[in-house]
Amino acid sequence: MWYISITFYEEILYGIVDNMIPKAGYYQERAPLTYLMVALLLLSGVAGIATAASAADSTTASWVLTLSGVGEEVISADAFQEIKARDGITYTAPDGSVYTGVPLKRLIGMVDDADPTTFNATRAAEGYSIIIRATDWHDRIFSPSDLTDTGFCVADSVNGGLLPKQDGDIKIAPLILVGEDVPPGMGIGNIMDITLTGAAITGETEGAVSVTVIRYDEEGGNVLNATTVDCRWMRDHLPIHGDSATFYSFQGPTFDTADLWNPAEDKNLEKVRETPRGTAISDLCDLVGGMQEGDELRMTSTDGYVVELMYENIYTPKEKQGTAILAWETKKEGFVPEYTGGPALFFLSPDHVFGNQDMKECTDPGYWRYYWCAGTSYPSAAGLAVRNVEKLEIYPHKQADWILNLSGYLAASISKKEFEQGLSCGERAHGHAVTYTDDDGHVWKGMPLYMLVGWVDDACQHDENLVDNKAYNVTLAKNDGYTVVLENADGDIVSFPSSEIMRNRDHLVVNQADNRTFGIDSDIWPLALRGEAVPAEKMIDGITTLTLVYDAAPSSSAKPDAMPAPFPWGAVIAGLTLAGYILRRHS
């Protein structure tokens, strides 16, 4: 922060004012007003810079890093600086950039046991997983055996300054993992938390890891057959695929707008990379009667994340995809539960990489996954890499499709599959899926209305960031900048002022009740409005259109939330006062 004294201002103005006093041989009119204006502008500019610098300082100091293990530690930016002052290290990257930060082992030692000052080597030898996660939920997983004392650096500065917010579309600040011993592709920026998991940390002996397999009837609601098997049983009774030695990868986003699909498969191949052994998913489906052509398999993780695949991906995969397996073991971590990501989906592709182009060619468009960043939707095969799978569900693929049309600052449409994918993102999706139980005991499930509004309320459609998310324009909503209008095919309409639904999780656009999606023959199909805050007269069924009616032209009002720097009027007024005072004093 800049600290500028009154004396400093006085000296500046005094020098200028001195030139405003008529000298011998000069006319009385010699530009005193011009000099005064220059003085005021200079003063205002300096004060404005000081204000901006102060605001920047407060912004950079607003982040926190959460450490979770035996206990939890929340480290502020200031606390991080204190740790760095005592135990800081530097790392010089191949490009010459010099990073400064804190050893990863130092941070882990704060939560690996009851003593926050030391790294517990005994527990490290027993083994556990270290999960480093960014604010957009992507992560990197390490084991204590990977670490070295100074080869893993959690850095907050580079070349003597703060980290850049991002490098292209890759988020960097406030913290980034770098170091000479960090494997290629395993660095991570925009770090939000570091979590330690495993029996060595929790002290609990975990039981067998199981998966439930369910096949539903033609309506998709009644269970025809179901079974639950644990991973030990899979290993001992079903054919094993993979050898725990060969690496298989899912490609992540390329962050290259000129090469989104990257057929060459030479960008971001480290996003998901393991040496798996596991069981063919087709063998698990066969335990309940198998899949038929046109059926769909839904895989659900323990955190609620859902990935869906077609019959062809499971039973008749294209050669470039390979066998789809649920992996329960890796060379690095061992058998589940020590393998903290298992059971996990892998494709045993011949070239050992399931790339974005492979996803495009092996699945229908409704199954493609994307990573949104800076207004670009990057294809990401890694979005299919569901882990910690606890449930496999076989659904008949005979349900009719539908489209929800949205209109506001932007115009867009959301298909049935896209809506379901939004609900399926689990904990990583800022609460997309919400349930509501009505007075009759029926359980409705859907998405908060304001999240759909956020898709078209301004220029920012989607934001992967868990912290300070910009997808929904709060400024516009709280000022009643528009009215939200829902309409069905019969022409029925209900509306709400934007402030009423602002970040409100009691106005839900639902697609299912009592664990059944609405059928095309239902009066409710495809979507309905329900929720604790929705009065009976506004519980509209059959929603097909969402429209934002702006009070003013959206082109001038519906801009993404921002904090523009205000003109320093206070500095101008102060400048006038000081100028008058110094003129009087000089006289």
**pLDDT tens-digit map of 227-279:** 999 999 999 999 999 998 899 999 999 989 999 999 999 999 887 899 999 99
Lowest mean pLDDT among 39-53, 324-338, 353-367, 465-479: 39-53
Q: What is the mean pLDDT of the chain?
A: 82
DSSP conformation class of 573 = H
Based on the fold, state whether residues 97 and 238 are members of the same structural domain: no
**pLDDT confidence tier of residue 462, bands split at 50, 70 and 90:** low
Based on the fold, state whether residues 376 and 427 are members of the same structural domain: no
DSSP conformation class of 442 = -
The pLDDT tens digits for 486-507 are 999 999 999 999 999 888 889 9
Cα separation, 315 vs 529, in Å, equals 38
Based on the fold, state whether residues 53 and 81 are members of the same structural domain: no
510 to 7, 539, 573: CA distances (angstroms) = 65, 11, 55
CATH number of the domain bearing residue 287: 3.90.420.10
* Rg over CA atoms, the chain: 29
Cα separation, 316 vs 324, in Å, equals 10
Range of the domain at 443: 403-551
Bridge partners (DSSP) listed for residue 108: none
Report the pLDDT averaged over residues 101-117.
94
With respect to residue 558, please indicate whether it lies within any of the assigned structural domains. no
Based on the fold, state whether residues 46 and 167 are members of the same structural domain: no
Cβ-contact 281, 316 below 8 angstroms? no
Tokens of 33: 């007003």
355 to 47, 101, 171, 367, 385: CA distances (angstroms) = 53, 34, 22, 14, 12
- Collapsing DSSP to helix, strand or coil, 289 comes out as coil
How high is the pLDDT of residue 12?
Answer: 44
With respect to residue 260, please indicate whether it lies within any of the assigned structural domains. yes
With respect to residue 234, please indicate whether it lies within any of the assigned structural domains. yes
How high is the pLDDT of residue 400?
Answer: 75
Match 């602002």 to its residue by tokens: 502
Q: What pTM was computed for the model? A: 0.65
Based on the fold, state whether residues 382 and 432 are members of the same structural domain: no
With respect to residue 10, please indicate whether it lies within any of the assigned structural domains. yes
Based on the fold, state whether residues 70 and 184 are members of the same structural domain: yes
With respect to residue 564, please indicate whether it lies within any of the assigned structural domains. no
Based on the fold, state whether residues 391 and 433 are members of the same structural domain: no
With respect to residue 226, please indicate whether it lies within any of the assigned structural domains. yes
Based on the fold, state whether residues 181 and 226 are members of the same structural domain: no
Domain-terminating residue out of 175, 202, 229? 202
**pLDDT confidence tier of residue 475, bands split at 50, 70 and 90:** confident
Phi then psi for residue 572, to 5 deg, are -65, -45
The per-residue DSSP string of 448-474 comes to: EHHHHHTTTSSS------SSS--SS-H
Based on the fold, state whether residues 283 and 338 are members of the same structural domain: yes
Based on the fold, state whether residues 170 and 215 are members of the same structural domain: no
Based on the fold, state whether residues 263 and 235 are members of the same structural domain: yes
The answer for residues whose C-beta is within 8 angstroms of residue 281's C-beta and 6 or more apart is 297, 314, 324, 325, 326, 345, 392
- Collapsing DSSP to helix, strand or coil, 95 comes out as coil
β-bridge pairing 353-354 and 248-250: parallel
How high is the pLDDT of residue 398?
Answer: 61
With respect to residue 511, please indicate whether it lies within any of the assigned structural domains. yes
33 to 14, 406, 576: CA distances (angstroms) = 15, 57, 12
Domain-terminating residue out of 163, 186, 202? 202
Q: How many structural domains is the chain composed of?
A: 4
Tokens of 213: 């397999």
The per-residue DSSP string of 22-53 comes to: --TTS-TTSSHHHHHHHHHHHHHHHHHHHHHH
Bridge partners (DSSP) listed for residue 240: 279
Based on the fold, state whether residues 245 and 378 are members of the same structural domain: yes
Cα separation, 507 vs 543, in Å, equals 14
Cβ-contact 90, 102 below 8 angstroms? no
The answer to whether the Cα torsion of 442, 443, 445, 450 is positive or negative is: positive
How high is the pLDDT of residue 423?
Answer: 80
> For residue 459, with 0-12 CB atoms within 10 Å meaning exposed, 13-18 middle and 19 or more buried, which class applies?
middle
Residue of 473 and 539 predicted with greater confidence: 539
Domain-terminating residue out of 368, 395, 422? 395
β-bridge pairing 223-230 and 210-216: antiparallel
DSSP conformation class of 478 = H
DSSP conformation class of 367 = G
Cβ-contact 110, 162 below 8 angstroms? no
The pLDDT tens digits for 390-425 are 999 998 876 678 899 999 988 888 888 888 877 876
Tokens of 282: 């087709």
With respect to residue 559, please indicate whether it lies within any of the assigned structural domains. no
| Half-sphere CA count of 314, side-chain side, radius 13 A | 27
Cβ-contact 7, 547 below 8 angstroms? no
203 to 7, 72, 199: CA distances (angstroms) = 63, 16, 5
The per-residue DSSP string of 200-259 comes to: HHH-------EEEEEEE-TTSSSEEEEEEEEHHHHHHHS-EE--SSS-EEE------TT-
Cα separation, 294 vs 311, in Å, equals 6
**Helix runs in 230-375, H state only:** 231-237, 281-286, 311-315, 356-362
